[in-house]
């Protein structure tokens, strides 16, 4: 893959990644399609909200439908009917989420299937094998995540294990499409630097920041971002994994991050929590039961933006009766909001007015719906 | 409303209804949108599958979101974001479905809300009031449905009550949009004739056949259709309520029916039961788990018909993990199948080759998937 920085404004930058299945403008947000589907959303709608690249979960797809099935389709794109780029995580985060059900060794992770209790094993080599079958445009190294809080020596050991696994991932992966390294080291700035340098020596196509959004404070997260991102390679994409709120994305971009993914816009949508320029909105609240306005008057999404738009009252009604169309519409809106936010940031960076754009963003978000 | 028969082939006929919110070509199938939504389906997708008119349930909409809410939108169209014709049933069938929870009197029906146990009352006047607020293009008279089997004297009494209610419906309804009468009389041909004549005297904009698909045999249904439809007014639309399978639609059209509605294509879709030209298909069946073909190779729907189509294996996977996108895709396919079937029949009637088209339909449906 090729990555080109096109414009820079302070640490914030815009660019383009040329991937096997298409080009991706950065900064970019990647909607999460856990099992090969963004819940409730057709690939047509993904195109309508202008998704450029989506994320698939290696762990979940490995369990269901299984790699043999996806292999028949020569990858996830053809299997799920999406002909643009896909990034897959390595399964490391999901295995970590299993908690006591897993046992971590140098070789890899032994664990029980959360579906049927089967004994399973995941390692750098296994993860690379699966991701190559998924034919991801971007694969991620298999790493160990760490809890927070954690002692520095535990964080060090874990970070070193992740580095050794990163090397095994790289060797095993070979030359197919592209592979990103993941910086670990918990909330310790020197460990983060050491992890980054170790990965740079291994030469990856991009560098991700893992192990954030695991329960630490916003201050801790920003402290790590501010110390780490400026020393990440300029000519490679920087990916902040599993983050976050609209405000998190803005701060990430401000600090030089190029890529994000998060379940927030989609999961919150299903629970009736909607994002707008003027703040968030809980559509199930009784005050919206007869509100004739769209979710956001100024929004151009397929839900708010047409002449014959869907009203807050209608979406309130659908959510109250648990009608799946409610989730389809709210997910569509939230994804548009996130993806349009990224588009606005790319534009502001290109026009070199990111700082005033950011001020305006915070001002409007505080107005309230 | 105006109804024009454009072509006739035997008893089968094609025509057009000019309704308040647009024209509808007949014979037509109306997707069911119980609570102001065809489950999981946006109005965009309804347009993509070429729905001309949809059905809303007065009873359900009365309970949720309630008529006060819909009234704020001056009707169901604006509330649900659908700017084409809508037909609403009267609530009679839903009240009948409540079984022992309701008490039927001359005045109307007293019953307990299935949602919260509240005491509720529905009558011809109430139903007309609600349907006028919903601003349906076509409203239905409030009638009593009868169980099957039932004695002839019970069927007679019920049919007479429905006639008196039809008159009260007509008087109460006034001149807004259009109102259809509903022929009752159970499986007794003479009672059906008497019901029809009573309704014709009251002068409705169209005539529906109610009380079929309530547990009778296919032979009984066809016997009633064959004796009743030919004596229904030629110059008014004929609507067979709550029916049915693709084969039922073909037989209905053969016998001169113009309009149909049924939950089968949508409900079955959610359970993984799919319709194709070559027979039906249970997508959850293991034999589809790695099947790379679309649901139906010859289908032009948004799910099967694009270059980057969704495969049987993918839809199988989505259904197995209960991902709502699975229901969205299967519902889209089944609705397309039903609506395209009607289109084919309109074309065959216009070309005066309905009989050979019908033979071909049955032959292909028996081939098997």
Concatenating the DSSP letter of every residue in B291-325 gives --SBS-TT--STTTSSTTPPBHHHHHHHHHTT-HH
Domain boundary among B262, B284, B309: B262
**Which of A292, A324, A328 comes nearest B73 by C-beta?**
A292
ipTM value for the complex: 0.97
Overall domain count for chain B: 2
Structure tokens at B178: 């259009």
Residue whose token pair is 């306005």: A293
Task: Supply the pLDDT for residue B307.
Answer: 79
Q: Give me the pLDDT at residue A366, please.
A: 96
Distance from the Cα of B134 to chain A's closest Cα (Å) equals 14
- H-helix or E-strand spanning residue B63: helix B58-63
Residue labelled with tokens 């008529």: B67
Q: State whether B197 and B62 are in the same domain.
A: yes
What pLDDT score does B8 carry? Answer: 98
B181 backbone dihedrals φ, ψ, rounded to 5°:
-85, 160
Find tokens 């359970």 and name the residue: B271
**Are A223 and A330 found together in one domain?**
no
Give the range of the structural domain holding residue B316, as residue numbers without chain letter.
Answer: 269-365
How far is the first Cα of chain A from the last one, in angstroms, to the nearest whole number?
Answer: 42
Only one residue has tokens 């954690």, namely A150
Walk across the sheet containing A109-112 and list its strands.
Answer: A102-104, A109-112, A119-122
* Residue A307, pLDDT score: 79
* pLDDT attached to residue B55: 98
> What are the beta bridge partners of residue B110?
B103, B121
pTM of the model: 0.97
- Per-residue confidence (pLDDT) for residue B262, from 0 to 100: 98
B317/A69 CB distance under 8 A: yes
Q: pLDDT below 50 — which residues of chain A?
A: none
- Cβ density class B188-200: b for 16+ within 10 Å, e for less: beebbebbbebbb
Q: Give the model confidence (pLDDT) of B328-354 as tens digits.
A: 999 999 999 999 999 999 999 999 999
Please identify, among A238, A261, A284, the residue that sits at the C-terminal boundary of a domain: A261
A293 touches chain B (CB under 8 A): no
pLDDT tens column, B34-45: 999 999 999 999
Pairing of strands B119-122, B109-112: antiparallel
* DSSP code of residue A32: B
Let me know whether A50 and A133 are in one domain: yes
Q: Tell me, what's the pLDDT at B176?
A: 86
Enzyme catalytic residues of B: 89, 261
What pLDDT is stored for residue A41 in this prediction?
A: 98
Strand A54-56's sheet: what is its strand order? Answer: A28-30, A259-261, A238-240, A206-209, A178-183, A138-140, A86-88, A54-56
- Whether residue A312 sits in one domain with residue A176: no
Nearest Cα of chain B lies from the Cα of A159 at a distance, in angstroms, of 35
Nearest CB among B65, B72, B310 relative to A81 is that of B310
Query: Quick one: A170 and A309 in the same domain?
Result: no
Same domain, A119 and A249: yes
Q: Both A140 and A187 in a single domain?
A: yes
What CATH number has the domain bearing residue B254?
3.20.20.105
Distance CA B243, CA B245 (A): 7
Whether residues B154 and B249 fall in one domain: yes
What does the pLDDT read at residue A246?
98
Q: Do B88 and B198 sit in the same domain of this protein? A: yes
Query: Mean pLDDT in chain B?
Result: 97
Low-confidence ranges of chain B (pLDDT < 70): none
- Is B193 within 8 Å of B158 (Cβ atoms)? no
* Closest residue by Cα to residue B265 from B69, B55, B108, B18: B55
Q: Mark whether B177 and B306 lie in a shared domain.
A: no
Q: Phi and psi for A336 in degrees, rounded to 5?
A: -55, -45
> Beta-strand (E) ranges in A216-349?
238-240, 259-261, 273-276, 279-282
A327·B323 Cβ contact <8 A = no
Domain end: A217, A232, A261, which one? A261
Do B169 and B288 fall within a single domain? no
Listed in order, strand segments (DSSP E) in chain B are: 2-9, 12-19, 22-26, 28-30, 32-33, 54-56, 86-88, 102-104, 109-112, 119-122, 138-140, 178-183, 206-209, 238-240, 259-261, 273-276, 279-282
Q: With contacts defined as CB-CB under 8 Å, which chain A residues touch B323?
A: 35, 37, 39-40
In this structure, are A216 and A298 located in the same domain?
no
């Amino acid at each position: 893959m090729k990555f080109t920085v096109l414009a820079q404004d302070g640490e914030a930058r815009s660019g383009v990644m040329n991937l096997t299945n298409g080009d991706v403008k950065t900064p970019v947000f990647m909607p999460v399609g856990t099992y090969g589907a963004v819940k409730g959303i057709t690939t047509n709608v993904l195109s309508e909200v202008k998704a450029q690249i989506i994320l698939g979960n290696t762990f979940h797809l490995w369990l269901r439908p299984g790699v043999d099935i996806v292999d028949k389709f020569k990858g996830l794109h053809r299997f799920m009917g999406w002909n643009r780029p896909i990034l897959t995580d390595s399964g490391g985060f999901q295995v970590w989420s299993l908690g006591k059900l897993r046992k971590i060794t140098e070789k890899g992770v032994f664990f029980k299937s959360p579906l049927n209790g089967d004994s399973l094993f995941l390692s750098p080599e296994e993860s690379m094998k699966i991701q190559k079958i998924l034919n991801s445009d971007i694969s991620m190294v298999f790493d160990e995540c760490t809890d927070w809080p954690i002692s520095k020596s535990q964080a060090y050991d874990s970070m070193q294990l992740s580095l050794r696994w990163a090397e095994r991932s790289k060797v095993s992966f070979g030359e197919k499409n592209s592979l990103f390294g993941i910086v670990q080291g918990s909330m310790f700035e020197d460990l983060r630097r050491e992890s980054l340098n170790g990965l740079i020596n291994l030469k990856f196509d991009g560098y991700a920041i893992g192990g954030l959004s695991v329960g630490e404070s916003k201050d801790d997260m920003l402290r790590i971002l501010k110390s780490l991102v400026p020393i990440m390679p300029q000519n490679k994409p920087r990916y902040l994994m599993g983050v976050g709120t609209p405000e998190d994305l803005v701060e990430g971009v401000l600090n030089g991050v190029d890529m994000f993914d998060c379940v927030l816009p989609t999961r919150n949508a299903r629970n009736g929590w909607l994002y707008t320029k003027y703040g968030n909105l809980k559509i199930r609240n009784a005050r919206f039961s007869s509100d004739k306005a769209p979710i956001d008057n100024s929004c151009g999404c397929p839900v708010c933006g047409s002449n014959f738009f869907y009203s807050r009252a209608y979406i309130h009604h659908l959510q109250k009766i648990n009608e799946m169309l409610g989730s389809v519409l709210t997910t569509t809106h939230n994804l548009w909001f996130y993806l349009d936010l990224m588009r606005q940031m790319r534009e502001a960076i290109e026009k070199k007015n990111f700082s005033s754009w950011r001020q305006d963003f915070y001002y409007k978000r505080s107005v309230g719906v």
